[in-house]
Structure 1
Amino acid sequence: MAVHAAERLGNRGGAAIGEAGDDIARDRPGVPTGLFDDGGTMTGIVNLLEDVSDRAVAYEAAQRLAAIIETSADAILTKDLDSIITSWNGGTQRLFGYAAEEIIGKSVSMLVLPDRPDEEPNILTRIGAGERIEHYETTRRRKDGTLVDISLSVSPIADHSGRIMGASTIARDISERRRAEEQQHLLIREMDHRVKNLFSLASSIVSLSRRSATSMDDLASAVMSRLNALSQAHALTVPHTSTASTRLQQGTTLHRLMRSILSPYDECDGKLGSRVTIEGPDIDVASGAGNGFALLFHEFATNAAKYGALSVPGGGMDIRCEDQGATFVLTWRERGGPRIARAPDGDGFGSLLARSTVRGQLGGEIEREWKPEGLFIRLVVATDRFAG
């Protein structure tokens, strides 16, 4: 509120002084200003006193909010309705790799993948209509070209009149969650696959045992023996964090691992160890790597028992190990099984799982060749992967 000294001085200074005081007080709030008459004599002082408490509180709140945003672990940015970035906090720099000075003033579309041209316009259309967007999952490109899975929450920004002038975006990295979900889905599929295989394996074991059994007691004993061997092989695939698998905790050798898994099928006419030969150098397998190798050999043996050399009485296989220094090579050659006219169409889940295990966990390569006399597999693994 302006308090005019001219009003307290009566007629001294007159209307001209009052008018000048209004102009001065309005132009220089909070600064005392002299008033002069036509002769240059100071006749009074004009001062404007303004209550700025609310302004100071608002400024302090704004500073606090800016500090919170800047130090937030979340990526927070703002943009106008033309997708031009107007602010960029430290979390956004850590997520996408761009410093604020590199990207403020540029279009947010530089983060959007080329195959999603309509994504950003659709978001802005919804924001322009006053809509909030919660937990929108998408993929963005970082400065270094790598992709990152994110969840977006986008809110409209309005001016004092309520007109929407831009958007505030919070982005969270959900890459770890996505990987965990994919791993969970793979494990569920693997569990379903293994359960189905168990029924097939049980049937195969009963069928194999029946051929050499001379009595019901003999059959029961053979089936129980093979199921027990299969159970022991299964124990080697239990994750090493489980207290139920002390053998895997202690590690094993490659030959012992293969014999344990193949033992339910390695019998012909009552003679154990007559269908499978394992030659070449043995190698220690640490607990961390045992799960991957056990999973592979279990898959190979399952397929051989269902469709290959181990599905008929006279079939067998030869396994050869070669230590080549930096790499360890294993060849799996089936013989005497059903004649193979051609390779199967497409890859089953077992094949996909085998490739995923070899390349992902073991860092190796696997080749399959469907020869008429039986399946041939060549597995190459870096020697240091056996240490887990």
Structure 2
Amino acid sequence: MAANDATHVDAEHGLKKRGALGAADRLSAIIESSDDVIIGKTLDGIITDWNAGAERVFGYAPEEIMGASILTLIPQDRRAEEDEIIARLKNGERISDFETLRQRKDGSLIHISLTVSPIRSADGMVINASQTARDITARKQTETLLAQQSERLQTLYRVASEISRDLDLDRIVQSVTDIGTELSGAKFGAFFYNVTNAAGESYQLYTLSGAAREAFNFGMPRNTAVFAPTFAGEGVIRSDDIRTDPRYGHSAPHYGMPPGHLPVVSYLAVPVTSVSGEVLGGLFFAHDEPGKFTADTENLVSAIAAQTAVAMDNARLHKAAQQEIEQRRRAEESKELLLHELKHRVKNTLATIQAVAMQTFRQAPRSELKAFDARLFALSEAHDLLTQRDWKMVDVTHIVQRAVAPFAAEADRRFEINGCEVQISSDRALQLAMVLHELATNAVKYGALSTPTGTVKIEWELPEQAGGPRLELRWTETGGPATSPPARKGFGSRMIARALRGEGNGAEFDFRPEGLYVCLRLSLT
């Protein structure tokens, strides 16, 4: 080989060697500067490589950890994971994105995502492993927070669903006490709440959870420095140890918990306040160990208290509505009884008048007795109609149809009735019924209904005029005998005049050849 050839070979070999070393240096620099944890280890779990990312995350300097077991970084309860990882590596398997817990030098635990790759020799045998880890503690904390918030929302939805569908106050407060005691982790809970009875008297009741009622025989809470803020609605009181609270132990006679009282150390009290600002009561929870209630517990119970206030308001409104319905039902029953009694007494009175009239008119013509009896019947029918309408407003159509019904049957339905819908008072209804009966009686005896072909048209309206509303009713007879003004007024005419006496009332009679025409005016004020 020529000298210059040898020189060329040596130079080429030197370049290759320097290139290989340069690549290794670059790889080493990349590994060292990576933010991820990069650890090399043997299949026996001995740490052989340790980058700056590993030192930053786990807290060990290279000289402290190199040559130590990988188990140094694994919590005691998770060391079985390493046996599984080594077994899979020996089978040539690569483990990706394995999420687990590892332990720092100070003993604290961190969440990591682990990737472990086998390192092979020239003949393909797995001889070592490269382990990359990424700190995912922040992500896990976020996931945990989201899970807690989701669980809280589900819990509040369950509580709201459970108490909102119940309108019984006693069941609501007991359910809330049980739920609050369970969710807060309290040993026992109580709900002191205000109620008002049917007489308008206010008093306080309570429910218990986690303890028998016999265990609480000390009466209602007094307005002490500890209880007052809750019953005044001033806010939440949470204490890790109520015995050390500056508000505790200043009230006679016990200056603290009385002997035999349930053991209260951890203490949480939340007012239940209506949307109107009224304090409906207070939720109280306790535990016999300190530090049992957290800020999360306080927020959860406060949310439950807000839902409880809505449910209690709904229950109180429902109870008030039920009481009003019951009062109205009793009032309706009393009114119905009174109306039937009145109807009975009116019937008895009219029957008595009828009996006296029959004795008085014994020597009178039969026709006069019959006419008087018919008038009493008309008055009785009008009273019946008013009783059916509770002596309130009555439709004119009902009055007209009821008044002429006996005559319509006798006269083969020869009445034509037409008018607007209008309601009149009970006293006006009685007047109109009596007047119509007199007109119908007169038509049967002397007018259109005394012949087979005669008819009566009854129509009414409410004409617009000054002086308030007024009913105008027209009675028109046709097809009967010719009429003429009477020489003197009979009983019927005088009765009509008296019935329609008053301002705005009146009757006009027109004795036409084709039949009687009467215009009645009845003031509705």
Q: TM-score, normalised by structure 1?
A: 0.47
- Greater relative contact order: 1 or 2 (C-alpha under 8 angstroms, separation 6 or more)? 1
Work out which of the two has the higher radius of gyration on C-alpha atoms and give 1 or 2: 2
